[in-house]
Structure 1
Amino acid sequence: MTLTRPQQILVQTLAGSISVLAFAPVSQFWLMPVCLWVFFLGIRQASSGRWAAINGLAWGLGYFCANASWIYISLHTHGGMPVWMAAGSTFAFALFLACFPMLAALFTRKWRCNDSLRYALLAPTLFMIFEWIRGWIFTGFPWASVGGSQLASLGGLYPIVGSYGVGFLLCLNVASFIHNKRLGLTLAFALISSSALLKQIDWTTPQGAPIKVSLLQGNIEQSIKWNQTSYNDSLQSYLKLARQAQGQLIVFPETAIPSLLEMIPAWYLDEMRQIMTQKNAAMILGAATSDGERYFNAAVDLANPQRTPYAKQHLVPFGEYIPLPQVFGPIYQFLKMPLIGLSRGEPVQPPFAMAGGKIAANICYEDAFGNEIRRNAVNATLLVNLTNMAWFDGSWAAEEHAEMAQARALENGRYLIRATNTGKTAIIDNKGQIIAALPPQTRGALEGQIQHRIGTTPYQIWGDWLVILAWAGVLAGLLAHYHRKSAE
């Protein structure tokens, strides 16, 4: 059936938007191949390179309007932006992100190569290259990477090729199906079977006995978290949760105490130390810290707060620091947003030696960056994420974020525990399975057990370089094939 151009745009936009159902909490992973099938077919059937780019842009707009819609909540509900400005900013961000699949579509049509290779091999390669670029350019936004939707189907491949590698294999599979249905079905069977077999491999081994952990979820509304009048309530809420905790390791969420560490009352820190002594427990507190000149979003060992904390190294642009402050600074002064103007921590930081192992901390959406997490994970026996997703309450952002944490646990063969302000507080095992979680928007402590693990996964060794070299090999091979054919 031949579609008119407006119909093509509508179909592409709808296909991109339903991709959100492939991710948590709906987790219908099979929808992602369907969405990609519409994208690749649209490129193939487009009447020109320009129209292929328009198809790609429409698909990308649907994809990112659906998968990043939660940004509106932070801008309007908590940032105080008028509806029109928040909606416009969210749409503008989605439009920027949509340029990456648009460029993949355009370059697919403009690249000189055989048509059968163009759509079966080049299109999925360029799609993933531009998704990878999206993950690091301008500090990167790897949220809703297509590979991240395939934990249930291709989870066994994550410890080898990571999320981008899984996404590449998925795209190759979809493109091959369009080219040759029998080949596509055979490749799908091979990938799913290989994943199932690889899941049986334990890339890492247990170290020591299991330990009890307590992950605190204070459920402090973002609208009051940074109000001075609510400060004592925050102190008392977390003090009560800490007293009730049963774990050998007690973890607080990101900036659980909404002030600089140096400004937390001395009596409060003394109370926490008494709790640690009574329970023979270690504590990791999320708090802002300062070295006198710079400020950091940090995770602190409360037994020794003077020890170098973990300082968040991947800051959120327009959230934790202001690009082009001369241009955007006045907007943030008007919005009165907290924790603006932070400094970055080092890319590789020593783990905390506590609770019978070595703990690599990460903060907020740092666990969306697989290649960065592995750098610290390789020296650790446990991963800990401290997060505050209250900025996006009312959306699926917390569930989507937890799903990315599952991918990081798989890639590194480590347990990953998450302490969040409003959800999703969870314990994730080394196979990427959520084995315990607190209900969102509730106050409490998640009690459970974790196992320290040692060893190295293939992904920890080579990170994303394996798949990057594969992309380079594909492009080089296609160029060589084209020139050889042209010379004949």
Structure 2
Amino acid sequence: MRGRVGAALVLAGLAHAAALAWPFDLALGAWLRPGEPVAGLQGASLVVLVALLARAPTAAAAAVRAGGFALAWLAGTFWWLFVSMHVYGGLAAPLAVAAVLALAAFLALDYALAAALWWRWRHAGVAARVGAFAALWTLAEMARGVLWTGFPWGAGGYAQIEALGWLAPWVGVYGMGAASAALAAALALGGTALRAGAGVLALALWAVPATGPGLVAALPDATRPAGTLPVRLLQGAIAQDQKFDTEAGVPLALRWYGQAIVHASADPKLAGGLVVAPETAIPVLPQDIDADYWHALAGAVRAGRVAVLLGVPLGSFTDGYTNSVVGWPPDEPATDAGPDPFAALSRYRYDKHHLVPFGEFIPRGFRWFTDLMHIPLGDFDRGALPQPPFAWAGQRIAPNICYEDLFGEELAAGFRDPATAPTVLVNVSNIAWFGDTVAIDQHRHISRLRALELGRPMVRATNTGATAVIDHRGRVVAELPRGQRGVLDATVEARTGITPYAAWAARWGLWPLAAACVAVLALGRLGWPRRSAP
């Protein structure tokens, strides 16, 4: 790439990353707020990309340009992986930087291939080129989210939650990204009339205030109220460098979460409600904790009127380990918990299905890399997909753990039968691995999109943030300050009914959207000018 073109692509890619959750302490009224998505910035970055791809002299040049853009975008999106690898994993800083860049470069290959293929549409009509760009870019986004176990963090559609969130219950985050890509391509490629129309539409959509209700406020409901559920969300705010320390973090976690559960069980305001503690709130195996601790909790929970969801690792060396959530419903009258009070309490269990590469399982051939780091609990077994929800207080409560909420098509698997579909979604996370960074804000918006797609409230209990309650329209209705120890009380409106997205994604995953992209490409190909016979 030439200097000016390369600089423009890098700046556009970094702008695309910043659009997902504005990372700077700089505000501009309601349109630019720290931690909030910026729809117009994401759209503008794609306009720059399409314009420069259209001028690429060869397919290889187009691939290099798109790859450079994607490298800057992806590295600028999940740069905070450096924190987990260097600060908490003990990996030397140059190696941690190289690892982040290598991951971004590998994932950028999907977009480079898409651009090289799009270059073949250079002689097609404007409509065909616009449709082809949106289709190929969306296929690249989905490939990144599926291949090699998938890592879709930072998909462009997340920046459009205020502007295009009304599409989420129909086509999901990838469909939102396709709409944004099509609009950007129309602005970059169209003639005077098309650009004028696309400009008006872009202004109407992308000028939506970052913190307002947006067009989602006018969205007709595909779901119906199904009662309310009082919740108390626990945020222990235990520093990651202490979390697994048996002299510091482990005793603190046992004491603070134990006391919080005991107090909640006795609180009459929470009767019939739910207490949620985050991922690995108890950071050691239950059998490694004194039985008296579990007996005390068993007595409190059984005597109360509050159910508990608790993040805890389970298993053994011989049986394997799982990153899990256990559900404890109360029993009345209180009874003796027996010799294994933890097992007696745990009437429900959810095991994490979508594991994090290098954090929860070691990809084949990469043991050498993880040996350089010092992160505990490295190899877990996978849970099934789907798993039944936790039944309590007339609700069906479906947990997901950490970055599982990136995979809307996997959460949708539990919606195949409307009679057993979840009425409330619960995410438990520990983003402390990545420090006090924009990762917290990005993850909040990911959960917001899942709530919109599936038409369900999402409650989030995390170690350091964002512990929040999100309604079925993707709006954050309550949130704890990040990094502070505390509890968040709220009342959640459960929902029943199935969104169109949940209906088709539950049965076919992402295949219908992929087929639609292929159909757009095929229709556009029919309109290519025919070559004259020699």
Settle same-fold status: TM greater than 0.5: yes
Task: After superposition, give the CA deviation of every residue in 1:60-96 in whole Å (9 maximum; x if it has no partner).
Answer: 1210121010100000000001111111111111111
Structure 1 position 255, deviation (Å): 0.6
Query: 1:182 is matched with which residue?
Result: 196
Query: 1:146 is matched with which residue?
Result: 156
Structure 1 position 434, deviation (Å): 0.4
Structure 1 position 484, deviation (Å): 6.3
Structure 1 position 308, deviation (Å): 5.0
Query: 1:471 is matched with which residue?
Result: 517
Of 235-244 and 381-390, the range deviating more from structure 2: 235-244
Paired residues for 1:68-87 under 5 Å: 68-87=78-97
Matching residue within 247, 269, 293 for 2:319: 293
Query: 1:16 is matched with which residue?
Result: 13
Query: 2:3 is matched with which residue?
Result: 6
Query: 2:281 is matched with which residue?
Result: 256
Matching residue within 443, 467, 490 for 1:448: 490
Q: Flag the 1:466–1:334 CA change in 2: closer, same or farther, 3 A.
A: closer
Task: After superposition, give the CA deviation of every residue in 1:232-253 in whole Å (9 maximum; x if it has no partner).
Answer: 2210011222234353200010
Matching residue within 126, 132, 138 for 1:122: 132
Task: After superposition, give the CA deviation of every residue in 1:242-277 in whole Å (9 maximum; x if it has no partner).
Answer: 234353200010011011233333222222233324
Task: After superposition, give the CA deviation of every residue in 1:103-134 in whole Å (9 maximum; x if it has no partner).
Answer: 11111113586153453221221111111100
Q: Flag the 1:131–1:12 CA change in 2: closer, same or farther, 3 A.
A: same
Q: Matched residue pairs, number?
A: 481
Of 176-185 and 239-248, the range deviating more from structure 2: 239-248
Would the aligned equivalents of 1:113 and 1:479 in 2 still touch at CA under 8 Å? no
Would the aligned equivalents of 1:40 and 1:119 in 2 still touch at CA under 8 Å? no
Q: Flag the 1:137–1:56 CA change in 2: closer, same or farther, 3 A.
A: same
> For 2:91 and 2:261, how far apart are their aligned partners in 1?
36
- Corresponding residue SS for 1:30: helix
Paired residues for 1:28-43 under 5 Å: 28-43=38-53
Query: 2:102 is matched with which residue?
Result: 92
1:337 aligns with 2:337: no
Structure 1 position 100, deviation (Å): 2.0
Would the aligned equivalents of 1:322 and 1:340 in 2 still touch at CA under 8 Å? yes
> For 1:81 and 1:437, how far apart are their aligned partners in 2?
33
Query: 1:383 is matched with which residue?
Result: 425
Paired letter, 1:65? A
Greater share of helix: 1
Q: Flag the 1:334–1:452 CA change in 2: closer, same or farther, 3 A.
A: same
Of 34-43 and 103-112, the range deviating more from structure 2: 103-112
Q: Flag the 1:172–1:272 CA change in 2: closer, same or farther, 3 A.
A: same
Paired letter, 1:469? A
- Corresponding residue SS for 1:479: helix
Task: After superposition, give the CA deviation of every residue in 1:17-61 in whole Å (9 maximum; x if it has no partner).
Answer: 012221221422210000100111110011222211121111112
Of 265-274 and 22-31, the range deviating more from structure 2: 265-274
> For 1:357 and 1:419, how far apart are their aligned partners in 2?
18
Would the aligned equivalents of 1:157 and 1:198 in 2 still touch at CA under 8 Å? no
1:243 aligns with 2:262: yes
Structure 1 position 351, deviation (Å): 0.5
Would the aligned equivalents of 1:254 and 1:386 in 2 still touch at CA under 8 Å? yes
Structure 1 position 191, deviation (Å): 6.8
The runs of 5 or more residues in structure 2 that have no matched partner are 22-34, 209-213, 330-343
Would the aligned equivalents of 2:86 and 2:96 in 1 still touch at CA under 8 Å? yes
> For 2:347 and 2:233, how far apart are their aligned partners in 1?
22
Query: 2:241 is matched with which residue?
Result: 223
Query: 2:384 is matched with which residue?
Result: 346
Structure 1 position 340, deviation (Å): 1.2
Query: 2:253 is matched with which residue?
Result: 234
> For 2:481 and 2:54, how far apart are their aligned partners in 1?
45
Q: Flag the 1:191–1:161 CA change in 2: closer, same or farther, 3 A.
A: farther
Of 245-254 and 84-93, the range deviating more from structure 2: 245-254
Structure 1 position 198, deviation (Å): 7.8
Would the aligned equivalents of 2:132 and 2:520 in 1 still touch at CA under 8 Å? yes
Structure 1 position 485, deviation (Å): 6.9
Query: 2:55 is matched with which residue?
Result: 45
Q: Flag the 1:272–1:113 CA change in 2: closer, same or farther, 3 A.
A: farther
Would the aligned equivalents of 1:125 and 1:168 in 2 still touch at CA under 8 Å? yes
Would the aligned equivalents of 1:113 and 1:478 in 2 still touch at CA under 8 Å? no
Would the aligned equivalents of 2:230 and 2:489 in 1 still touch at CA under 8 Å? yes
Q: Flag the 1:26–1:37 CA change in 2: closer, same or farther, 3 A.
A: same
Structure 1 position 190, deviation (Å): 8.4
Query: 1:104 is matched with which residue?
Result: 114
Query: 2:395 is matched with which residue?
Result: 357
Would the aligned equivalents of 1:165 and 1:467 in 2 still touch at CA under 8 Å? yes
Would the aligned equivalents of 2:278 and 2:311 in 1 still touch at CA under 8 Å? yes
> For 1:306 and 1:413, how far apart are their aligned partners in 2?
29
> For 1:294 and 1:69, how far apart are their aligned partners in 2?
32
Query: 2:211 is matched with which residue?
Result: none
Structure 1 position 280, deviation (Å): 0.5
> For 1:331 and 1:61, how far apart are their aligned partners in 2?
22
> For 1:61 and 1:394, how far apart are their aligned partners in 2?
23
Of 393-402 and 405-414, the range deviating more from structure 2: 393-402
Q: Flag the 1:136–1:201 CA change in 2: closer, same or farther, 3 A.
A: same
Matching residue within 291, 294, 311 for 1:269: 294
**TM-score for the superposition, normalised by structure 2:** 0.85
Same amino acid, percent of matched pairs:
35
Query: 2:30 is matched with which residue?
Result: none
Matching residue within 212, 217, 228 for 2:230: 212
> For 1:189 and 1:487, how far apart are their aligned partners in 2?
46
1:311 aligns with 2:351: yes
